[in-house]
Amino acid sequence: MSRVCELTGKGPMTGNNVSHAHNKTRRRFLPNLNDVTLMSETLGRGVKLRISAAALRTVDHRGGLDHFLAKAKDTDLSANAIKIKKEIAKAQAAQA
């Protein structure tokens, strides 16, 4: 399982540990990933995703998973998230 957020594409970054003596050693900064189930209002079911804590706050801020995916770029989304986005768009078109 890769350490990449499924909604934002946020992944590991690299940098340095810097000691008091100013010695530098390489390290990795990993994203804060959580396994969550988000409810889709259009589909009427939960969707399991592995997303960062920042992405979870952004989903809440934008008004839910459906609104977040509507504005999200396909280049940032995982293959699973793109599939869910298409299902939601198809369901919304059927309702209209």
Does position 26 have pLDDT exceeding 80, yes or no?
Answer: yes
Q: Is residue 17 part of a domain?
A: yes
Q: How many CB atoms lie within 10 A of CB 65?
A: 24
Q: How confident is the model at residue 96 (pLDDT cuts 50, 70, 90)?
A: confident
Give the chain's domain count. 1
Residues 38-63: pLDDT tens digits? 999 999 999 999 999 999 999 999 99
Mean confidence (pLDDT) of the chain: 96
Q: Is residue 7 part of a domain?
A: no
Residue 36 · residue 56 · CB < 8 Å: yes
Domain around 25 = 13-95
Does position 1 have pLDDT exceeding 80, yes or no?
Answer: no
Q: What is the CATH number of the domain that holds 29?
A: 2.30.170.40
Does position 2 have pLDDT exceeding 90, yes or no?
Answer: no
